[in-house]
């Protein structure tokens, strides 16, 4: 696996750990945001295996679906989780008058953990080919 892909996977795992710690410290909006970034880094790593890079988050979310879900390489629920996490990240980062609850942040972290685990397993399998 290329060093840049490995670095993105490491960032995804670091963001998961940070999100979990922030959730336990009751910093819900930032925990939700970090959980999304774990997914963002992992999706970036996957897309980089196809030579694809994106500056816009919405473009990355769409490309992930096109490259991995529509082709049948990954299940569609992962695309739905990434899309939902992106929407929640926007809310947690920019809609400061709307509270992000513990439940919201915990749901975001659950999505991120499942997404990171599934995509990491896929990438490890792909790298052994």
What is the pTM for the complete model shown?
0.92
The CATH number of the domain holding residue 122 is 1.20.120.330
Residue whose C-alpha is closest to residue 118's, from 88, 73, 85, 87: 73
How many domains is the chain partitioned into structurally? 1
> Domain range for residue 33?
3-127
Rounded Cα distance between 21 and 8, Å, is: 20
- Output helix, strand, coil percentages for the chain, rounded to the nearest 5: 80, 0, 20
pLDDT, tens digit, 9 for 90 and up, residues 57-71: 999 999 999 999 999
For residue 129, pLDDT beyond 80: no
For position 30, what pLDDT does the model report? 93
Rounded Cα distance between 71 and 16, Å, is: 27
CB-CB contact of 107 with 28 (8 Å): no
pLDDT, tens digit, 9 for 90 and up, residues 53-105: 988 999 999 999 999 999 999 999 999 999 999 988 888 878 776 788 999 99
For position 126, what pLDDT does the model report? 85
């Amino acid at each position: 696996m290329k060093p840049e892909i490995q670095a993105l996977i490491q960032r995804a795992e670091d963001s998961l750990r940070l999100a979990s710690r922030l959730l336990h410290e009751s910093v819900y909006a930032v925990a939700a945001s970090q959980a999304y970034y774990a997914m963002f880094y992992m999706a970036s790593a996957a897309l980089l295996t196809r030579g694809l890079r994106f500056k816009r988050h919405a473009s990355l979310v769409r490309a992930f679906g096109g490259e991995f879900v529509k082709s049948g390489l990954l299940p569609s629920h992962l695309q739905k989780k990434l899309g939902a996490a992106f929407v929640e990240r926007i809310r947690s980062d920019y809609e400061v008058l709307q509270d992000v609850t513990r439940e919201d942040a915990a749901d975001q972290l659950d999505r991120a953990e499942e997404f990171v685990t599934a995509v990491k397993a896929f990438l490890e399998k792909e790298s052994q080919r």
